[in-house]
Structure 1
Amino acid sequence: MLLAIAVLIISGAALIVSMRQASIMNKQTDILLEQTKSSAWPRLSVGFDQSWSDKTLEYLKIPVHNKGTGPAIIEGVRITYNGEVTKDWWDLFRKVKVPDSINTGISNRGIYNSVISANESFYWMQLENDPRLRHWVYEKKEKITIEICYKSVFNDYWLFRKEGLNGTTVIQKLDTPECPLPSDEMFKS
């Protein structure tokens, strides 16, 4: 009987030790997962490049750069002008009331539903052809807001927001399983 009680106590102690080890292993797994995720975090930046020569705006460009360590999977883009959603660059030009006499030809690259590799840089939009268009957009730049919803390969979501092309940038990590930007408000260019 004494032997059976001793075996029972030893078995109980072994069970407690096993449960504690499993708990520690779960914590270690969580830490390793977070370390792995941090080695693949994307971090977008959107700039506003301009060049002036003798009070003339030579070029106006919007560069995009992924400064992170992993790819940025773009799931949503929204650009508003004065709080009003725009569908593409030409819709933006209409909303800023670019006159018909100004050529709205631009060079651009779409980013909606794309992947931007770590350390990849490119010009999202370039205004180099018509100096009047550059000046027109430059004068309206503070009323343009850019929002980009992107995720990592681990499905962690971030929302990039830039109010005014020269304005402040806020990048917020989201606790959502999907992009919160409404699909009917997506900027398609």
Structure 2
Amino acid sequence: MSKLKIKWNSDKIVSLSAMSISIFTLIIFIYQTNLMSKQNYLSILPYVQISISEDKAHKTFSLDIKNHGVGPAIIESVIIYYKGEKHDLRDYDNYLYNYLKSEMPILDSVNFFSSSTLDRGIAIPANSNYNVFKVFESERDYDLLTKSLGELLRKGLRYEITYRSIQDERWIIHSNSEGPQKLD
């Protein structure tokens, strides 16, 4: 048997080196593209939490949705659970305060408040707050709201907010969760 001998000359060495460098460059390019894709994904990731602010000295109570992420959060649905029943906030014109008044009619007498809708499709920008409702400048209204809300929570009032990113990835937060949970 004769062995095939490769004759190494400068042309073959240069050609082989060029091919090796090209393959190595292709591997680096694929790796960089993968890193850029991951960076793009993380650059639009919303992270939503519910925030309650109470200032008894100034008679202010505020419920906000905060987006601590780096991309906008787009609200898809808000569901309230109370006394074993499921309530879609759309049945209350997307106002959480309207739902609270339906369960605690005494809240209808609160005068100093502002309220916002939680309509499907509302976008909460990155690093911002969206005020759901706020009671201010009235000790009577502040006391009435905090006592009523406390009673509703003791009786089992819970919420569930589903939202998505601009890449249509969906998350959900619950009143008893420690953070958003990704939905498949």
What TM bracket, shorter-length normalisation? 0.5 to 0.7
Larger Rg: 2
Query: 1:183 maps to which residue?
Result: none
The answer (yes or no) to whether the contact 2:116–2:131 under 8 Å persists in 1 is: yes
1:85 aligned partner: 86
> Partner residue of 1:94?
102
Query: Given the alignment of the two structures, is residue 60 of structure 1 paired with residue 61 of structure 2, yes or no?
Result: yes
Q: 1:101 to 1:61 in 2, by over 3 A?
A: closer
Q: Is the 1:102–1:132 Cα contact (8 Å) retained in structure 2? A: no
Contact 2:54 2:62 in 1 (8 A): yes
Aligned residue number for residue 163 of structure 2: 150
Determine whether 1:173 maps to 2:182: yes
Contact in 2 for aligned 1:81/1:92 (Cα 8 Å) = no
Residue segments in structure 2 that go unaligned for 5+ positions in a row: 5-18
| Other structure's SS at 1:132 match | helix
Is 1:47 aligned to residue 48 of structure 2?
Answer: no
Alpha carbons of structure 1 residues 80 and 107: separation in structure 2 relative to 1, 3 Å: farther
TM-score in terms of structure 1 length: 0.64
Aligned to 2:74: 73
Q: 1:35 aligns with which of 14, 35, 39?
A: 39
Counterpart of 1:154 in 2: which secondary structure? coil
Task: Calculate the TM-score normalised by the size of structure 2.
Answer: 0.66
Instruction: State the match for 2:16 in structure 1.
Output: none
Count how many residue pairs are aligned between Structure 1 and Structure 2.
152
Q: Deviations over 1:144-182 (max 9, x none)?
A: 22221111122221111123xxxx53311122xxxxxxx
C-alpha distance in 2 between matches for 1:124 and 1:82: 23
- Matched-pair identity in %: 25
Aligned-CA RMSD value: 3.2
Q: 1:101 to 1:49 in 2, by over 3 A?
A: closer
Cα distance, 1:145–1:100 mapped onto 2, change above 3 Å: closer
Higher helix fraction (1 or 2): 2
Q: Compute the displacement of 1:104 (Å).
A: 4.9
Instruction: Show structure 1 runs of 5+ residues with no match.
Output: 3-13, 176-189
Question: Secondary structure of 1:133's match?
Answer: helix
CA deviations over 1:19-69 (Å, ceiling 9, x no partner): x9988866654442122110111111111222335xxx9332211111111
